[in-house]
């Protein structure tokens, strides 16, 4: 519908406005304290699931584009079949979030120079960027260290180690997807008590299928989990835990 399409466009534009501002105004791994539990923290990632380099960046970006094409096909199908507006909006927001991160992967490498600890990136002529087409890095910036403490010494294996909740750093596109998935989980669990598998019929079928793909393949929705060992004041960017779904 026009309403869902318009909402998706708003999400995509807002996502890119935030990313471009961060990219052109902050140093890599620079942080801005908003509160004790909320920071704007600029980091980038290659978009690889769990930080692995098995298939390479080009494969992942291509897969994302194909997956987005499937979502567009499915969205057009449910619109023609007059599915409920709320469900169409949900799929539209998933699509918007996915496209937001694909834009980074496809274009950022060729239109920006590299962000470093001493250099703030800027736009450059196409082709003179830090990478090639389809090899751009995804920009992340939202960090919520709501709880920062150490595990009790008596816990085997992790006793005394530093602990942060919530440690993932994510972007606006990730948030759009995550919120829709979370709402779906609440609705489904509230309706049938527990999610056992993909429903055989009804509007949840394709969405549950996509979620299952997320869990198995780990490349459908982008939730970039970057753990900072010593907190925002002393980040260790080498310790990455990633779940990259789109």
Q: Is 140 a catalytic residue?
A: yes
Q: Alpha-carbon Rg of the chain, whole angstroms?
A: 19
DSSP of the chain, one letter per residue?
A: -HHHHHHHHHHHHHHHHHHHHHHHHS-TT-EEEEETTEEEEEEEE---GGG--SS-HHHHHHHHHHHHHHHHHHHHHHHHTT--HHHHHHHHHHHHHHHHHHHIIIIIHHHBPPP-SS----B--TT-SSS-TT-PPEEEEEE---EEEE--TTSTTTTT-EEEET--EE-HHHHHHHHHHHHHHHHHHHHHSS--S--SSSTHHHHHHHHHHHHHHS-SSEE--B--TT-TTS--TT-B--EE--
Instruction: Pick the catalytic residue from 15, 140, 224, 244.
Output: 140
Question: Which residues in 127-158 are b (16+ Cβ under 10 Å) and which e?
Answer: eebbbeebbbbbbbbbbbbeebeeeeeeeeee
Instruction: Pick the catalytic residue from 2, 9, 36, 174.
Output: 174
- Positions annotated as catalytic residues are 140, 174
């Amino acid at each position: 519908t026009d309403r869902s399409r318009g909402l998706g466009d708003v999400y995509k534009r807002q996502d890119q406005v935030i990313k471009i501002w961060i990219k052109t105004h902050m140093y890599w791994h620079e942080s801005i304290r908003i509160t004790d539990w909320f920071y704007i923290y600029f980091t980038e990632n290659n978009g690889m699931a769990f930080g692995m380099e098995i298939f390479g960046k080009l494969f992942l970006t291509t897969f994302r584009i194909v997956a987005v094409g499937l979502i567009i096909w499915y969205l057009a199908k449910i619109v023609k079949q007059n599915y409920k507006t709320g469900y169409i909006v949900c799929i539209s927001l998933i699509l918007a979030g996915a496209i937001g991160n694909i834009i980074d992967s496809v274009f950022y490498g060729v239109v920006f120079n590299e962000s470093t600890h001493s250099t703030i990136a800027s736009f450059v002529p196409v082709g003179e960027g830090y990478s090639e087409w389809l090899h751009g890095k995804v920009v992340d910036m939202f960090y919520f260290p709501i709880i920062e403490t150490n595990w009790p010494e008596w816990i085997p294996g992790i006793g005394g180690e530093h602990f942060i909740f919530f440690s993932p750093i994510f972007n606006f596109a990730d948030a759009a997807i995550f919120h829709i998935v979370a709402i779906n989980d609440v609705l489904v669990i509230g309706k049938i008590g527990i999610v056992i598998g993909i429903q055989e019929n009804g509007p949840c079928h394709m969405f549950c299928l996509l979620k299952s793909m997320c869990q198995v393949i780990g490349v459908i929705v982008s939730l970039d989990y970057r753990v900072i060992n010593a907190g925002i004041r002393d980040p260790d960017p080498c310790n990455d835990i990633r779940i990259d779904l789109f």
